[in-house]
Chains A and B, each alone.
Chain A
Amino acid sequence: MDLHNLIEIKAIVINPKAKLVENILELEKLEQVPTRNGYGEGLVEVGKKNPNVVVLCADLTESTRSEAFRKEFPERFVEMGVAEQNMASVASGMNAMGKIPYISSYAMFSPGRNWEQLRTTVCYNERHVIVGGAHAGVSVGPDGATHQAIEDIAITRVIANMTVVVPCDQHEARKATIVVADLEGPVYLRFAREKTPVFTTFDTPFEVGKAEILFETKGKPDVAIIACGPLVHNAILAAAELEKNGIKVRVINNHTVKPMDEKTIVQAAYDAGAFVTVEEHQINGGMGSAVAEVITRNFPVPIEFIGVQNRFGESGSPNELIKHFGMAPEHIVKAAKKAIRRK
């Protein structure tokens, strides 16, 4: 990409209210931190704020970044061993006694392995338990498909009353981890293993259930890109590229998959008339499907879905895998053009 042109574009199209980092389009200049680090930082902060917060972890204390909380509040940390089903229901029992449990593991195991325990003993039982699922998506990398959760959004959002949040970077992950302590009911927070660009700031607004417009062309957009998780940054890079080609774009960070900000999504359908959804997840049942459910009821427009297309992941480097599974900026650009053609 021509850097000079990109910076020029940035001045016009980045939404100033989003308070993003200055050099958002210059990937090599951005700090790279995994979203799970934001979870770890958030746990310590929310632990300081609220003495009822407890953290349970299933033998993955370091890699889920629960370690900092364990060090700060050892009396409020419970090591569960490799027992995710037990962890979900123990958390339910602790909430029954007034605690606010965060349960940490890899998304593949929690909410993967313990789905029924979450459904019955946490969600149906109306318990306020926060599930922190690390290592979601194919960007887990070399560990391969067994550890790459790409179904977790689908299996959590389908459960009645569950809140599902997919933070886009370290800052958003930290904010989400803190604010969900004050919600009611069960929450799923999805995190990634790999370092990804930190492109929001301390000042970027974050509210559960409120999608944020990050990139906005002057005038009526030709297409809206609805993204969640670290791939939001790829969506912005794609938007800049589309803008260069004279295509007007709105990029929405749709971090809360459930309850979805229907107003912002339907307005985007009305304004743009074509969507691309972007997520590091199966396209079946994920964030894109949730968006489709919202707009088909309100204002149907063509949608192209960027995500894993009914396959399992595999080993490789994170960047290779994002390209291999068709989730890189160039794939988003192509999908946007196709969505516009389908109008």
Chain B
Amino acid sequence: MTHLHDDKIKELEEKAAQIRKDTIESVINAKSGHIAGPLDMADIFTLMYFHVLKHDPKNPDWPERDRLVLSNGHICPVQYATLAHAGYFPVSELKTLRQLGTRLQGHPHRTALPGLETTSGPLGSGLSQSVGMAIAARMDGLHSYIFCLMSDGEHQAGQTWEAVMLAGREKLWNLVAIMDRNNIQIDGMTEDILPLEPIREKYEAFNWHVIEANGHDFGEMHSAIEQAKVIHEKPTMIIAHTIAGQGVEFMERKFPWHSKAFKPEEAKQALHELRTLGGKIKSEHE
């Protein structure tokens, strides 16, 4: 198992900060769209596209690539920002988010934009598609990993558990799911709305290998993914504990920010916080 060097971690942190900034700017520009989830998943997206995934932005259909399926499509602003930084399309295109004629649809549409593995938005179907990909890959002896990024809230959807059950039966070693465990959903906290806990034990009962990690710690997440790849008898669920709205203090852990639009002064403050990020990045504007 390889560990991430400090230099690499620093590089990923800086990339994640840029991606957070571009994510927020694109949502501000669009005047609508989800923001808490994209912010808390910025670190994981950065880790995936800038270190973990076997992929080629110049050849998005490369058959041997790893697949990253975004199940909770509403957090697509961060996927768009990440794909742009990875080289799938120009960063300048981020400002077209949610506008008529854009390739950056309000929820991701596979055929509109290179780099997307599926169309998603309605919750609970991404894991099923990932299971299908994993089964098909195994039939063909293809050594690609299928990564499925999911929300915690979509574990309230029955279809998720249909897929969990099938993946467990099929012992899909090539399937790695990552849950954004930020504890919030539109109407409040998950444990108040429809409790998910004990979520780890639920997955274990369905014959999955489960790892818990700090979703904002690149080293920890990287180790979890490396471990998942060497588990050959089971699919793996990585429960990534994250802070909703991570990086913007007034948004952190606040469920109303699941899909709330910014007021102008809030937008300014959010961007300021992200730009400085505890002094790690020099502010562009004062």
Contacts and interface: CB of A to CB of B under 8 A. Distances in A.
A86 B162 CA distance: 6
Interface stretch (A96-104, A163-171, A203-211): A96-104
Contact of A96 (B133, B163, B166): B133
Interface centre among A89, A99, A121, A124 (most CB of B within 10 A): A89
B133 A94 contact: yes
A81 B159 contact: no
Interface stretch (B15-23, B88-96, B120-128, B229-237): B120-128
B101 to A, nearest CB: 17
Q: Tell me what chain B mostly uses at the interface: helix, strand, loop, or mixed.
A: helix
Interface residues of B, number: 32
Contact of A93 (B109, B131, B139): B131
A121 B137 CA distance: 19
A159 interface: no
Contacts, number: 101
Interface string B97-110: 00000000000011
B162 A83 contact: yes
Contact of A78 (B135, B140, B162): B135
B193 interface: no
A117 B125 contact: yes
A126 B109 CA distance: 10
Given A85-B128, A97-B137, A90 B142 contact: no
B132 to A, nearest CB: 2
B269 interface: no
A80 B166 CA distance: 7
Given A81-B165, A96-B118, A97-B137, A121 B125 contact: yes
Contacts of B159: 83, 85-86, 89, 117
Nearest to A93: B132
B121 A85 contact: no
Interface string A130-154: 0000000000000000000000000
Given A117-B159, A124-B109, A126-B110, A89 B122 contact: no
A75 interface: yes
B59 interface: no
Interface in B115-165: 117-122, 124-125, 128-137, 139-140, 142, 158-159, 162-163, 165
Nearest to B148: A93
Contacts of A75: 139
A330 to B, nearest CB: 46
Contacts of A116: 122
Interface string A295-327: 000000000000000000000000000000000
Interface string B4-19: 0000000000000000
Q: Tell me what chain A mostly uses at the interface: helix, strand, loop, or mixed.
A: helix
A124 B119 contact: yes
A334 to B, nearest CB: 45
A89 B166 contact: no
A92 B129 contact: yes
A90 B129 contact: yes
Given A94-B136, A116-B122, A120-B122, A89 B142 contact: no
B160 to A, nearest CB: 9
B276 interface: no
B3 to A, nearest CB: 32
Contacts of B136: 54, 93-94, 96-99
A101 B111 CA distance: 20
A50 to B, nearest CB: 14
Given A85-B162, A97-B140, A90 B119 contact: no
Contacts of B124: 85
B67 to A, nearest CB: 8
B120 A89 contact: no
B125 A120 contact: yes
Interface in A32-64: 54
Interface centre among B111, B124, B125, B133 (most CB of A within 10 A): B125
A85 B160 CA distance: 10
B57 to A, nearest CB: 18
Nearest to B124: A85
Contacts of B165: 81, 83
Interface centre among A78, A86, A94, A95 (most CB of B within 10 A): A86
Interface string A68-94: 000000011010110101101111111
Contact of A90 (B67, B111, B128): B128
Contacts of B109: 124
B76 to A, nearest CB: 14
Contacts of B130: 93
Contact of A94 (B122, B135, B142, B158): B135
B132 A91 contact: yes
A88 B129 CA distance: 9
A125 interface: yes
Given A120-B122, A120-B125, A93 B133 contact: yes
Closest 6 pairs between A and B when the two form their complex, measured CB to CB:
A93-B132, A89-B128, A86-B162, A97-B136, A93-B129, A90-B132
19 contacts: A81-B166, A83-B166, A85-B125, A89-B129, A90-B132, A94-B133, A94-B135, A96-B136, A97-B132, A97-B140, A98-B136, A98-B140, A117-B128, A120-B120, A120-B121, A121-B119, A121-B125, A125-B111, A125-B118
